Structure 1
Amino acid sequence: MDEFLARALAGGLGLALVAGPFGCFVVWRRMAYFGDTLAHAALLGVVLGVALNVDFTIGIALLSLVVALLLGFMQRQRHLASDTLLGIISHGALATGLVALALMQDARVNLMGWLLGDILAIGWTDVAVLWGGGAVLLVALALVWPTLVAMIVDEDLAAVEGHAVARARMVLMVLVALVVAAAMKVVGILLVTALLVIPAATARKF
């Protein structure tokens, strides 16, 4: 097997193993649009990476964390519904990212690569980050798993039973944000939500 195919297989397998469990909670918690919002906002993370002269993945991860925390706090207000907030942040960040890239005369960004991903272009360092970071994310998910399952059944009942509902909700949003950031280079902005939602939704039938 060619080395670039081996890297693609190792990276794709590592990402799939991480996306599977998180995809279940994305479907159970009806967070598909949240993942889509993070994916669209990631373009602004690319701009952040260019501005700070760091790896784009770091910029995307930082921006995804900010968006997740912002949504977590904004959902506590009662003036706007959650889907409205997601729409505002999603398309606002996407538009801001496109305008910022257009204004950066010296920026050389392969937009198609970030929109659709390029699994054949990842290196062994990317594979190591996917597997190592994925293991950390899965351990973190396991720590809040009982609370998240209780919340899926009934949030009020979970709170009565002593589960830290608000903290678990925020932790899940942050972890999903990091999964989206990790997946961006492999599957791209347009397909990252599909990676989370479609396998989990399909598995529900079995």
Structure 2
Amino acid sequence: MSNSETKNRIVFTASELFYQQGFEATSFAKLSSALSLSKGNIYHHFKSKDQLLNAVVNYRLKQTQDMIDCWDIANTTPEDRIMDYVKIVIRNWHKIKLYGCPVGSLSNEMVKLDYPSESVHRVFTLFRHWLKSQFIDIGASDKADEYAMHILSWSQGVATMSAAFKELDFVHKEVDRITSWVNSLRQHPN
């Protein structure tokens, strides 16, 4: 396996462990065990856990941008693109009910550990700017950022309640409610 492949494998596995166990609970020893690699091999690629965290955030940013690009290609209307974001809570429900939202849980943990917010909230920022542009396309320029933040906070609330109560019916009802709201913006964007 090449250095690049090994490094990518480390980042992918660290991302999964950060999500499932938390950043603080994921030691290089646990990562080494999960990968069946020596700790020295991991340290060869990442000198510190902070470097690894930065690589994980960059990996998640790329994954998120790729997903957004697919939504942009697959949908002709901003409402449909927004709904692709909204439906994440259904598509990922089986993981969310076990571990919460991968973006939200890491962000919350980083706040508790007093990490600089700009380093770990970049995925939320990417979603925020993209959602804002969708609301601008709908014609809600004056409230585009407010609406983007509404959708983001809505999805975090649904993810938190999904993890707490593990009720898929609740998630479907919430998606139906937010769908009605997004569709109502076609007639009255502001």
TM range (shorter): under 0.3
The higher radius of gyration belongs to: 2
